[in-house]
Structure 1
Amino acid sequence: MRSPSVVVKLLSLPLLVVLAGCGGKPSIDVPASLTSIGQATPVSVVVHDKHGVSKVTATLEQNGAQYPAWQSSAATKDADSTFNFTVGAKTTPQLKEGKAKLIVEATSAGFGHGSARVEREVSVVTQPPTVSADSDQHYLYRGMADLATLNVTGSYTAAGVRVGEQVFRAWPMPGGKPGLFSLYAFAWNMPDGTSPVVFASNGAGNDVTTPLTVIFPKKEQPVYTQHQIQVTDQFMNKVLGELDPNGTGDPVARFVKINSEMRKANNKTLSDLRLKTADHWLFSQTFARQANSAAEATFADNRAYIYHGQKIDQQTHLGYDLAVTQHVGVEASNDGRVVWAAPLGIYGNCVVVDHGYGLQTIYGHMSRIDVHEGDMVKRSQVMGLSGMTGMAGGDHIHFAMQLDGVQIDPKEWWDPHWIQDHVARRVELPGFSVSAAAAAPAPRSHHAGHKRR
């Protein structure tokens, strides 16, 4: 027969096992983007602990001294808890400009109250940067581009031009000259009254702006055309067979989904290619137009899609449809580096060429691609053959241009005088000369039938 002490020990074992399972330490996630703090920098910390958290604290350490900065007001039972607070010189006036350390500690609500600690090196930046813009008058046209120069002093992590919610990066002036410049655009759908500003910001949450002197010539603003695209059964079947071969259900709904949702996703892919741009000019000449081409559609055409007499969709066409002959050689508009050479949804077989500083050209609906990502191409070099892949109803080249991910009207870049007045006059563009620019005529406008889609 077991003694009472043995029985007590045996009965206590399950309790010990349960208590042991209630221990452990929480884990703490501090955003990697937090590298600087200023007067009052917002911080968002996520603490993971299946038993909840009893306490979270934030401490600032500088030159061996520690300053309590924040403490959670109540415990939480959630397994994943987000804590938002601010730190900086406003609540910790002892901080000086320079290096510091943010220490975040969390204590588990479980048995044993295990704790965890994360330390993050930060820079204390209490003074915002200053930014000044050039004194030029900037003539802006909807859907088109311009260039501004700016100067920034103080500590900053980002600078450039901001137009509404669109941000265009600033780059060091070419040739080692002082200052920065930014190629920017006033998008085709930007609300009237939006004022472009130059800006500078830092990781401490400081953001300063100053306006550009901008003029919108009313009589010369573009007027975008309205078109009706007659969607035939043959075209719908072609699009569905190529872009949704395994789909089921209503063909019209599938077509509209491709035309809207796939279009949006494809444009996002194109926009993301801005991250692959070179930090220097890759061209020195005016952009060339596809030789002997007729423009069957132009930039920002508003298209209503009509199927059996009913409007089923409406989209904006952000490029030029250039037609020559069937399977014509697709020419690079200027020197650059290929950053995309693959199928891309509604654009079919697609090539994107980077020309530096966020400026890129797009070539869609090709029947064949003869270049690869990373290839350097020369102005007017043939990169493949035109076709009708993707959402195209006839053989042509979809030619488009984007600036820092925002699609723009290419026609200014076909004009050597515009490049001279708006770009080369303000920043160094080695080798560029108006007199040496090709004087090719603009693409012929041809809208009969609107067969290109």
Structure 2
Amino acid sequence: MQNPHTKSGFIKIAGLIALVVVILLGMFMLSSDSFEKESPTIHLKSTSWNLKGTFPIEVSDNAGIKSYQVSLIENGQKISLDAQKLTKQNEICAAKSANIAPLTQNITTQSPIKSFCIGIQKPQNLKNNIQSFLLEVSVTDTSKWNFFRGNTTTKQFHIQVDTKKPQIAIVANSYKITQGGSALIIFKAEDENLKNIKINNGNLDFTPQPFYKEGFYISLLAWSKLHEDFNAKIIAEDSAGNVSVAPINYFKQKKQYRDSTIPLTENFIDGKISSLVQEIGERNLEDFADKIAIFRYINEEVRENTFQRVLNASSFVDTESLVENFSIQAFAPLKNGAVMASFGDHRTFTYQGENVSESNHMGLDLASIKQAPVILNNAGIVTLNEFVGIDGNALVIYHGLGLSTLYAHLTSTNVQIGDSLEKDTIIANTGNTGLALGDHLHFSVLVQGYEVWNAEWMDSSWIKTNITNVIAQAKDIINKL
């Protein structure tokens, strides 16, 4: 007969071993990513839908998505809907997903994906003229938690059906726009679920600002000298995906800008260009294959970087504050300044008889005495004050309504970033920093970051006709509505 004390000791040892195993297993489960307890997340960008196209649903999980299901809840019953994973080509969620074939619901992927977008089409059994419906989304992750069943999140969403497009009505606008120039537009846009409004000119987008009274908007826009075509339109979109487009009928005036050919000399490349490369300090002269490569670096790469830096400093638009008025005077930044180079000049550079590079001069060069004072003709806020590539020491001043001015090649400045400046302030002194051969001021006017024809904004008559009078006319019309 077995000794009872031996049997009892064996049971205690076995129990102790089992307890240790359970503790170790518990510790493993708590620390292992395979047993993570965080449930999947489900996100809708909008809870309204026009029943057209695909309605997107973003799902994500730390471990990965194993399965998902989307159902229509009708009279307390679930009606399963065909939900497919959207590929990169047509997904409209913010989720980053792999470019693979669509997946139907409840299909387990071979390699779990942590975040992607699924979409549904209009349910076939949805009643006509329905104003809303209840949608249920259920997602399970690949975790082994919950007895290997994973974590599941189930959410219900009330989806509003909205098939009405935003209403757009133009109130007033400038009569014409010149290639390279600017124009103004004031309009009304209405929709209960208005999400986004923009103005597109066929190449570039411009953001309007709230104007005068609720529901009205104002914007300057530009026709770039670099673009031959111009077809302006207002585009309004609501959160349900309805889009309205309204054309803006400007009289379009083409303009011929000057073309010039500039031969490059050894002295110019060895002198000003090479010195600028060293001053910028991003590359060594020894890094370039030849002198043409040095010039192209400055005229193309550094020029583009300069454009982007100025664009970033001058493209801010306040879409929250209401614009009640916009008063601007003609710019005259340099007293008795002689024009050295005009806006829009197209330059072709040659070396030893061959065309080697091109550029467009997107400002006005003015010169008077050395280190002449630069005058700010309109109040504004300093948004850039630094050495910027080919512009050298440069200032950007924001005047409101998306309008900024650039002052380049300066010797010194008298202001700081963020300063609110009154008109007639002396802001700097002219110089020859950057890509400048002599002391002068490079002056540019920018609409939401894009250079426009300076002559318009230096002409009080043009400003009155195309800006001031249009705003006054719009206010009269709005007051009568």
Residue 246 of structure 2 is matched in structure 1 by 210
Which letter maps to 1:139?
A: K
Residue 170 of structure 2 is matched in structure 1 by 133
1:43 matched to 2:80? The reply is no
Residue 275 of structure 1 is matched in structure 2 by 316
Q: Is the 8 A contact 2:183 2:222 kept in 1?
A: yes
> Which moves more between the two structures, 317-326 or 282-291?
282-291
1:298 matched to 2:342? The reply is yes
The SS at the match of 1:427 is helix
Note the residue ranges of structure 1 that are not aligned, 5 or more in a row. Answer: 430-453
Q: Is the 8 A contact 1:42 1:87 kept in 2?
A: yes
Distance 1:355 1:389 in 2: 25
Cα drift, residue 282 of structure 1: 6.0
Residue 280 of structure 2 is matched in structure 1 by 243
Distance 1:120 1:266 in 2: 48
Cα drift, residue 146 of structure 1: 0.9
Cα drift, residue 394 of structure 1: 2.4
Question: What is the 5 A alignment of 1:25-424?
Answer: 25=38, 27-28=40-41, 30=43, 34=46, 37-40=49-52, 42-43=55-56, 45=58, 47-50=60-63, 52-58=64-70, 71-72=83-84, 73=104, 74-76=107-109, 77-86=111-120, 105-111=138-144, 112=148, 113-116=150-153, 125-134=162-171, 138-155=175-192, 156-174=194-212, 176=213, 179-192=216-229, 194-218=230-254, 221-228=255-262, 230=264, 231-244=268-281, 247=284, 249-250=287-288, 252=291, 253=293, 255-272=295-312, 273-275=314-316, 280=323, 283-307=327-351, 310-424=354-468
> Which moves more between the two structures, 401-410 or 239-248?
239-248
Q: Is the 8 A contact 1:55 1:71 kept in 2?
A: no
Distance 2:130 2:180 in 1: 46
> Which moves more between the two structures, 22-31 or 58-67?
58-67
User: Considering only aligned residues, what root-mean-square deviation do their CA atoms show, in Å?
Assistant: 4.0
Which letter maps to 2:306?
A: N
Cα drift, residue 143 of structure 1: 0.9
Distance 1:69 1:190 in 2: 47
Distance 1:348 1:60 in 2: 62
Distance 2:396 2:74 in 1: 49
Call closer, same or farther: CA 1:199–1:11 in 2, change over 3 Å.
Answer: closer
Q: Is the 8 A contact 1:97 1:126 kept in 2?
A: no
Which letter maps to 1:369?
A: T
Call closer, same or farther: CA 1:424–1:341 in 2, change over 3 Å.
Answer: same
Q: Is the 8 A contact 1:39 1:90 kept in 2?
A: no
Residue 92 of structure 2 is matched in structure 1 by none
Cα drift, residue 288 of structure 1: 2.5
Distance 1:91 1:349 in 2: 66
Cα drift, residue 329 of structure 1: 1.2
Call closer, same or farther: CA 1:393–1:383 in 2, change over 3 Å.
Answer: same
Call closer, same or farther: CA 1:110–1:164 in 2, change over 3 Å.
Answer: same
Q: Is the 8 A contact 1:363 1:397 kept in 2?
A: yes
Which letter maps to 1:360?
A: S
Residue 444 of structure 1 is matched in structure 2 by none
Distance 2:74 2:334 in 1: 61
Task: Give TM-score, length-normalised by structure 1.
Answer: 0.78
Cα drift, residue 275 of structure 1: 1.7
Which letter maps to 1:131?
A: I
Distance 2:408 2:235 in 1: 35
Which letter maps to 2:164?
A: Q
Q: Is the 8 A contact 2:174 2:466 kept in 1?
A: no
Cα drift, residue 403 of structure 1: 0.9
> Which moves more between the two structures, 289-298 or 109-118?
109-118
The SS at the match of 1:232 is helix
Distance 1:276 1:379 in 2: 21
Call closer, same or farther: CA 1:189–1:117 in 2, change over 3 Å.
Answer: farther
Distance 2:448 2:191 in 1: 25
| Per-residue deviation, residues 169-191 of structure 1 (Å, max 9, x unmatched) | 223334x4973332211111224
Q: Is the 8 A contact 1:28 1:117 kept in 2?
A: no
Call closer, same or farther: CA 1:275–1:15 in 2, change over 3 Å.
Answer: same
Q: Is the 8 A contact 2:165 2:238 kept in 1?
A: yes
> Which moves more between the two structures, 412-421 or 303-312?
303-312
Distance 1:90 1:308 in 2: 72
The SS at the match of 1:275 is coil
Cα drift, residue 119 of structure 1: 8.2
Call closer, same or farther: CA 1:343–1:87 in 2, change over 3 Å.
Answer: farther
> Which moves more between the two structures, 351-360 or 105-114?
105-114
Cα drift, residue 13 of structure 1: 8.8
Cα drift, residue 202 of structure 1: 2.0
Q: Is the 8 A contact 1:26 1:47 kept in 2?
A: no
| Per-residue deviation, residues 138-197 of structure 1 (Å, max 9, x unmatched) | 3221111111222222232333432114222223334x49733322111112243x4211
Call closer, same or farther: CA 1:105–1:409 in 2, change over 3 Å.
Answer: farther
Call closer, same or farther: CA 1:117–1:326 in 2, change over 3 Å.
Answer: farther
Which letter maps to 2:67?
A: K
The SS at the match of 1:330 is strand
Note the residue ranges of structure 2 that are not aligned, 5 or more in a row. Answer: 1-8, 85-103, 474-481
Which letter maps to 2:399?
A: H
The SS at the match of 1:394 is coil
Identity of aligned residues (%): 21
Cα drift, residue 103 of structure 1: 6.7
Residue 35 of structure 2 is matched in structure 1 by 23
Cα drift, residue 382 of structure 1: 1.2
Q: Is the 8 A contact 1:282 1:336 kept in 2?
A: no
The SS at the match of 1:355 is strand
Call closer, same or farther: CA 1:13–1:90 in 2, change over 3 Å.
Answer: same
Cα drift, residue 255 of structure 1: 4.5
Call closer, same or farther: CA 1:343–1:136 in 2, change over 3 Å.
Answer: closer
Call closer, same or farther: CA 1:19–1:336 in 2, change over 3 Å.
Answer: closer
Q: Is the 8 A contact 1:387 1:397 kept in 2?
A: yes
Distance 1:321 1:260 in 2: 20
